[in-house]
Structure 1
Amino acid sequence: MAKGKKKLAPPHVLAILLVLIVVISILSFFAPTGQYDYVTDAMGNSVLDAESYHSVPRNPVTLPYIINLIPRGFASNITTIVFVLFCLGSFSVVGKTKAVDALVNTILKKLHGKDNVVIILLSTLFTACGAFFGWSVESGVFVPMGVLIAKRMGYDKYLGTAMVIMPTLVGWGTGLLYSGSTLLLQEMLGIAPLSGMGYRAVSLVVLYVLCTTLLCLEGGRQRKKHAVEVAEGTAVDEEFDDSDLVFTTRRKLIVIWFVLAIIFMVYATTVWGWGLSYVGGIYFMMGLGTALIDGQSINQMCQSIADGVTEYTFIALVLAFAQSVILLLQETFLMDPFVHLLASLLQSVPLPLVGVIAFLVVALMTFFMGGFQTKAVILAPILGSLSQLLGFNPQVIVLAMVFGDGIAKWFWPASSNCVIVVAAGKLEYVDWAKGILKKYLVYLAIAMAILIAIMQSFNISW
């Protein structure tokens, strides 16, 4: 019997990042290098001077530099790493009490046979969290809950993850009210705060309906596939023993504590302006409180937190590697030449398509710099100057940048959003990336491009 072809294993996310480090290191010896200068604007912010690009001497990597690169990636990204470990670790503590499982089990029994209702409720919830509270990476901690819900309805874990992440993408990607995206851009571009909110609200509704429809269609496809498998006798149904999922008083108290912690986190971030380190602390306290309500001793509480954090230490490695890629691009002076090239290409694009190209550029830039604020600092002044030179509505830049950032960060393996989702859902990266690209992102990207083109063509500013 002839041996079948050996199936290629999907590339490990660390392998992808290591290849990037090797390629950039090689380029540092011969690729053109350049840099922009930064100036202080009227608001006291350090912004990039779009006219200041100039060549600089190459700064090729050395052996000591490479040896120290990944440890420096750890150190420079420590706030995000702590946030991720505390968030996912604490959620793991909550998960092991099965309080959320018991709640989900109770709800699904009441909504049995109403799968689309469940999908619509989840889509509405996470779209609202993204649009009004600026949730992005924060939704990653709810992926295990989405997977659990999907399994109980007979869906796979990829759809369960998508039911949480795709609506979050829509909410964040429209930037309706979030100060960390829309207001930041409008301040940098000199636009009135919250202006253009009407069209962003319309965009939110359009994308929400599209996203929810796509999720429901995928659910229907999986139900039909399962029905065929049942008829052919090839279905493998997972048996659920819910005898230990009684929604006891203790579990109700854990859910209440969990909800209060989330509400406090939302309030603290939106009203007090607390950042990731504070949010990580909130989740850490949530984990401790959960263990306490669960009746654990001091030693058991500490062990629960330690076990939860240990479960996700791999993510810390990935985040360190990803940050190392950014440091390497910046310190070899290879990032700004790429940005300069993109800005130059945009000047020769027909005006009706500039906004769409800007959207694609921002999405592409996520491959090189994950954080929205980083892209805003680098691209907003350039694109803002471009809008003045070409005479088009700067609100287009706002919409293009929040759209582009929102759609790319769940796909690119160097993005902390993607890393967290893949780890929390226990997914294979290649399967996740191919699935969301084919089933959701292509359609959402086309819709976003059309919305941007409409805004620019009709000079909409409301």
Structure 2
Amino acid sequence: MNKEIKKKKWEFPDTYVIVFLVLLIAVIATYIVPAGAFDREESDGVTTVVSGSYESSESSPAGFMDIFMSVQTGMVESAGLIFLVLFAGGMFEIINKSGAIHTGIYSAIDKMRGKEFLLIATIIVLFALGGAVGALANSVIPFVAIGVLLVKALKLDALVAVAITFNAAFIGFAAGFLNPYTVGIAHNIAELPLFSGMLFRLIAFTLLVGATIWYTWRYCKKIMDDPSRSLIGIEAAAEDELNFDETFTGRHKLILIWTAAALIFFVFAVVKFQWTTDHMAAFFVIIGLVAGIIAGMNYNEITLTFLEGCKNLVYGALIIGLARAVLVIMENGQILDTLVNALSQPLSALPPIATAIGMFIMNSVFNFFVPSGSGQAAIMMPIQTPLADMIGITRQVTVLAFQFGDGFSNVLYPTSGPLMASLAVAGVSWIKWAKWFFPLFLIWSVIAFILLATAVMINLGPL
């Protein structure tokens, strides 16, 4: 019998595979790259690199067991950040299971029938706020289906459904004025006060979300005026598709009010009491517990729902530890400072604004290979932080460059799992999406360039 040999379809490597390959490259580099170190000094609890103090040192290449020991060490050293992500997932799962989020959206849809612009703008703002506080990232995918029903009723196409849900959530995620997964982790690594520079990020949020509303509504208006201008075609809605059964109850309202009030208090506590990411992780448990009680869950249901939320974010949480392993190898092999010194020399010849924009571009490119905000923060921020010290820009600027570079490209790259899943739910091809989205990506990038230039000019602090 003739046996047919089927070729396996090539798949793009998983994020964990890519990060492990980066780890192996770091191991090889310890045998090739000269070892060296900067002097460091501590001031007000912040450790900074002393410019011009780099000196060569004895090399210490990594062995076979060092590869796997670095993974263990990376997990241990990142434990605080890992549990921050897990507890955030647990908290948001309780809020989501209570029905408060989707019934609130249903209520907004029902009350704004016939007010298309106000409805589109409100939904974009709501999803952007959800992304900005870390409530909506991968979890936005189920809401895309709701968006599809909505745009059918408005006689718009499914591409708009992705725009007002996924796209809105991720531009909020990118601005991230209260995002524990990117800004929280980056601030922790850069030794900056947690969520410092929030006013600047709120301005960034307003500009980016405003541009998103304008661009999305511009496309919607074109379709309303001439349906043939739709990039993918319009599918009519069934008469009963928007007759949602669930009611936005007083409990749902109270849960959302409690969550919003608790997050506002946390911002106050960060400023007043210098709360850290450890406090935030603990506070997520409190928010989830109280939200579960308000929702009428019993103690077992609260516990199991919280653990289910933690389980959903294990993938995103453990990548932080694996990414940290790369840093462990580079630090133990004493090649991290050599890399920073090599990067600082050409960058120091550039104007500070050009350097900040260069960091944005560098993070955007790197995100194609590591489409994980927390994982990218764990890899890039240890490099960018001392680099900022060397070239004379503030660490706050490097965090901005990281979050914009990571966040924007998540909505473009086909290596972004949440993007491809959202497009699949809506039935939109990536090619059509890229054609629609790319001009908006350029608009966001121009805004980011202006914001980064402004941040450099005003010396956005703290250092």
TM-score normalized by the length of structure 2: 0.71
In 1: Cα distance, 2:130 partner to 2:232 partner: 37
In 2: Cα distance, 1:88 partner to 1:76 partner: 20
In 2: Cα distance, 1:15 partner to 1:76 partner: 21
In 2: Cα distance, 1:283 partner to 1:180 partner: 15
Letter of the structure 2 residue corresponding to residue 298 of structure 1: Y
Name the structure 2 match of 1:355. Answer: 353
In 1: Cα distance, 2:218 partner to 2:210 partner: 12
Q: Does the 8 Å contact 1:363/1:407 carry over to 2?
A: no
Q: Does the 8 Å contact 1:100/1:145 carry over to 2?
A: no
Q: Does the 8 Å contact 2:84/2:281 carry over to 1?
A: yes
Q: Does the 8 Å contact 2:120/2:217 carry over to 1?
A: yes
Tell me which of 388, 402, 409 is aligned to 1:405: 402
Superposition map of 1:3-152 within 5 A: 8-41=10-43, 43=44, 45-112=46-113, 114=115, 116-121=117-122, 137=134, 140=137, 143=140, 147=144, 150-152=147-149
Q: Does the 8 Å contact 1:101/1:245 carry over to 2?
A: no
Q: Does the 8 Å contact 1:37/1:53 carry over to 2?
A: yes
In 2: Cα distance, 1:311 partner to 1:110 partner: 33
Counterpart check, 1:380 vs 2:381: no
Letter of the structure 2 residue corresponding to residue 370 of structure 1: A
Q: Does the 8 Å contact 1:20/1:325 carry over to 2?
A: yes
In 2: Cα distance, 1:300 partner to 1:424 partner: 31
Name the structure 1 match of 2:168. Answer: 163
What's the CA shift for 1:101?
1.0
In 1: Cα distance, 2:315 partner to 2:203 partner: 40
Name the structure 1 match of 2:344. Answer: 343
TM-score normalized by the length of structure 1: 0.71
What's the CA shift for 1:228?
6.8
Q: Does the 8 Å contact 1:172/1:402 carry over to 2?
A: no
In 2: Cα distance, 1:460 partner to 1:292 partner: 46
After superposition, give the CA deviation of every residue in 1:180-204 in whole Å (9 maximum; x if it has no partner): 999x99x99xxxx99xx99x99877
Letter of the structure 1 residue corresponding to residue 147 of structure 2: A
Q: Does the 8 Å contact 1:123/1:167 carry over to 2?
A: no
In 1: Cα distance, 2:270 partner to 2:83 partner: 17
Q: Residues 206, 292 of structure 1: CA spacing in aligned structure 2 closer, same or farther, 3 A cutoff?
A: closer
Name the structure 2 match of 1:389. Answer: none
In 2: Cα distance, 1:267 partner to 1:49 partner: 33
Name the structure 2 match of 1:387. Answer: none
Tell me which of 147, 150, 153 is aligned to 1:153: 150
After superposition, give the CA deviation of every residue in 1:408-440 in whole Å (9 maximum; x if it has no partner): 232689xxxx9xx966996699x79x9599454
Letter of the structure 1 residue corresponding to residue 311 of structure 2: T
In 2: Cα distance, 1:267 partner to 1:425 partner: 37
Q: Does the 8 Å contact 1:261/1:283 carry over to 2?
A: no
Q: Report the identity percentage.
A: 19
Name the structure 1 match of 2:325. Answer: 324
In 2: Cα distance, 1:126 partner to 1:101 partner: 11
Counterpart check, 1:445 vs 2:452: no
In 2: Cα distance, 1:442 partner to 1:401 partner: 20
Q: Residues 225, 69 of structure 1: CA spacing in aligned structure 2 closer, same or farther, 3 A cutoff?
A: farther
Q: Residues 306, 442 of structure 1: CA spacing in aligned structure 2 closer, same or farther, 3 A cutoff?
A: same
Q: Residues 66, 213 of structure 1: CA spacing in aligned structure 2 closer, same or farther, 3 A cutoff?
A: same
Please say which of residues 159-168 and 110-119 is displaced more in the overlay.
Answer: 110-119
Letter of the structure 1 residue corresponding to residue 63 of structure 2: T
What's the CA shift for 1:266?
2.8
In 2: Cα distance, 1:279 partner to 1:304 partner: 19
After superposition, give the CA deviation of every residue in 1:145-189 in whole Å (9 maximum; x if it has no partner): 86466344334447522202314534659xxxx99999x99x99x
Q: Residues 204, 49 of structure 1: CA spacing in aligned structure 2 closer, same or farther, 3 A cutoff?
A: same
Name the structure 2 match of 1:388. Answer: none
In 2: Cα distance, 1:403 partner to 1:219 partner: 31
Please say which of residues 14-23 and 259-268 is displaced more in the overlay.
Answer: 259-268
Q: Does the 8 Å contact 1:72/1:324 carry over to 2?
A: yes
Counterpart check, 1:257 vs 2:261: no
1:46 match: secondary structure: strand
What's the CA shift for 1:94?
1.5
Letter of the structure 2 residue corresponding to residue 443 of structure 1: I
What's the CA shift for 1:52?
0.6
2:32 match: secondary structure: coil
Please say which of residues 95-104 and 140-149 is displaced more in the overlay.
Answer: 140-149
Q: Does the 8 Å contact 1:53/1:340 carry over to 2?
A: yes
Q: Does the 8 Å contact 1:91/1:141 carry over to 2?
A: no
Q: Does the 8 Å contact 2:37/2:338 carry over to 1?
A: yes
In 1: Cα distance, 2:68 partner to 2:214 partner: 49
Aligned residues: 418
Q: Does the 8 Å contact 2:70/2:325 carry over to 1?
A: yes
Q: Does the 8 Å contact 2:74/2:321 carry over to 1?
A: yes
After superposition, give the CA deviation of every residue in 1:110-152 in whole Å (9 maximum; x if it has no partner): 223545434544665788899xxxx565664874686466344
In 2: Cα distance, 1:303 partner to 1:383 partner: 49
Letter of the structure 2 residue corresponding to residue 11 of structure 1: P
What's the CA shift for 1:405?
2.4
Q: Residues 21, 452 of structure 1: CA spacing in aligned structure 2 closer, same or farther, 3 A cutoff?
A: closer
Q: What's the RMSD between the two structures over aligned residues?
A: 4.8
- For structure 1, list consecutive stretches of 5 or more residues without a partner in the other structure: 385-393
After superposition, give the CA deviation of every residue in 1:309-328 in whole Å (9 maximum; x if it has no partner): 22222222222212222222
2:377 match: secondary structure: coil
Superposition map of 1:411-426 within 5 A: none
Q: Does the 8 Å contact 1:422/1:428 carry over to 2?
A: no
Please say which of residues 261-270 and 104-113 is displaced more in the overlay.
Answer: 261-270
In 2: Cα distance, 1:257 partner to 1:204 partner: 23
